[in-house]
Structure 1
């Protein structure tokens, strides 16, 4: 099988477009059945100021429904599981919420880190207290994570928000800090992330064999865990949604959610015709 070499070094070169170069992308599947894993925010929908405003378009939903009739499809999101499942609205999919700590699908239910819920409760209270005077900040509690959104915070105040998150994390060593686009998160301090969740799903769903080509579409730092895990597994394909190009462990790229939607439609049509 031939596919572009992944480059996740600082200043990595631009990756080929999985949409504009779809014929080459399809050749990289090498006759294998895709299993598609999708991030939500920034991948299926544009990034917006408030998470509740990131609504999935009906045409994209219809494409994903059709794609799921042709191959396995899962949504792997930093959102709370119930939240992302409600936004996507397709019961036939597998959903992994809170970066894979909370997984549900037909005949499938897994939760990682239940023993850390009390620590998250304590950290949530500390963050809300410490950030109560910062205009625009949003502290969002998920079942297995706490997200501190800074997109609406004035630039001079963003460093103070980051410091508050670090202070709370230092007082809660059972939790760890991760980041993303205009977001700080606290999660259970255990070796689990989107990448490990995807690999676990491949094993659980019987998709770890050489006849399957796992595809992962994502746009953020947390999705790099999945790109790296699939690259290390040796037969997965990462597609980073980003513009401008940047360093990534993914082998392919798409510019934005509009291109991601067009790619999924092209993939669906190609599978239907194969």
Structure 2
């Protein structure tokens, strides 16, 4: 991986030698700092202001695991394109759509939501998000000793789930997320958003994708033709570039806005 700020001339050249650009961003850990309680996540006002200015020049697409209603409220900018719930629901400039879960998968997730209640009883500081298309454990607030017990308990809990071909499990930054595995990912919804932009403008857009988590790796692979940036260096990442920490995202957006022609 290449450090983005040491390769700005290279990145600028790629953008200038392509057609129009589309900026795709993850939410948590990318434009929003990681916080112990997911409800407390926010976008710094300066970051929001930069994105609104960028959107006047290039489309801005928010690609997230959060539900559509939640992410639109968190971001607070109606004209952005939103790809929510890891791509299972989206708002492409007022065109709202959702992919239905197959009945067999919906039944599995209903059972899963019931099963996790027992874990929550034993670990009160644990936060469990029962989202429309996923279940997420947040254990940032667990004391160290409880965290060790919890991770072992979770490991045993997940063993039978891992054997189910229609279920996918992501581990990242003291969170564990369980999602459907039906060949539809952040990479697929990102491509879908780009097709929407192409059909609207009759132009091919160069994607710039910035994300920080394991769920973003599908998008890094799908958009390898563009500019892919991971928040946090990882030797296993498919991203071409990296930023050292979340705070550098705002700095990168500022460079993007100042450097590029309108």
Q: Which structure 2 residues correspond to residues 78-93 of structure 1 after superposition, within 5 A?
A: 78-93=65-80
Measure the CA separation in 1 of the matches of 2:94 and 2:217: 28
Check 1:24–1:195 CA distance in 2 against 1; reply closer, same or farther (3 A cut). same
**Which residue in 2 is equivalent to 1:47?**
34
CA RMSD of aligned residues (A): 2.3
TM score, norm. by length of structure 1: 0.84
**Which residue in 2 is equivalent to 1:223?**
216
**SS at structure 1 position matched to 2:3:** coil
Of 89, 94, 99, the match for 1:107: 94
**SS at structure 2 position matched to 1:42:** coil
**Structure whose residues are more often helix by fraction:** 2
**Which residue in 2 is equivalent to 1:125?**
114
Does residue 231 of structure 2 align to residue 241 of structure 1? yes
Does residue 59 of structure 2 align to residue 72 of structure 1? yes
Give unmatched runs, 5+ long, in structure 2: none
Does residue 207 of structure 2 align to residue 214 of structure 1? yes
What displacement does 1:197 show? Answer: 1.2
Measure the CA separation in 2 of the matches of 1:257 and 1:209: 34
Measure the CA separation in 2 of the matches of 1:23 and 1:138: 43
Q: Give yes or no for contact 1:179–1:222 (8 Å, CA) kept in 2.
A: no
Does residue 129 of structure 2 align to residue 151 of structure 1? no
Check 1:209–1:152 CA distance in 2 against 1; reply closer, same or farther (3 A cut). farther
**SS at structure 2 position matched to 1:246:** coil
Cα deviation digits, residues 218-260 of structure 1 (max 9, x gap):
01111111001112xxx22210110x55331111111222211
Cα deviation digits, residues 134-181 of structure 1 (max 9, x gap):
2422110111111111222333221212322344x2697653323322
Give unmatched runs, 5+ long, in structure 1: 1-13
Measure the CA separation in 2 of the matches of 1:245 and 1:196: 22
Q: Give yes or no for contact 1:162–1:184 (8 Å, CA) kept in 2.
A: no
Of 173, 184, 192, the match for 1:181: 173
Between Structure 1 and Structure 2, how many residues are aligned? 254
Comparing 203-212 and 68-77, the one that deviates more: 203-212
Of 154, 157, 160, the match for 1:161: 154
Measure the CA separation in 1 of the matches of 2:52 and 2:243: 21
Measure the CA separation in 1 of the matches of 2:138 and 2:227: 30
**SS at structure 2 position matched to 1:200:** helix
**SS at structure 1 position matched to 2:21:** strand
**SS at structure 2 position matched to 1:224:** helix
Comparing 103-112 and 89-98, the one that deviates more: 103-112
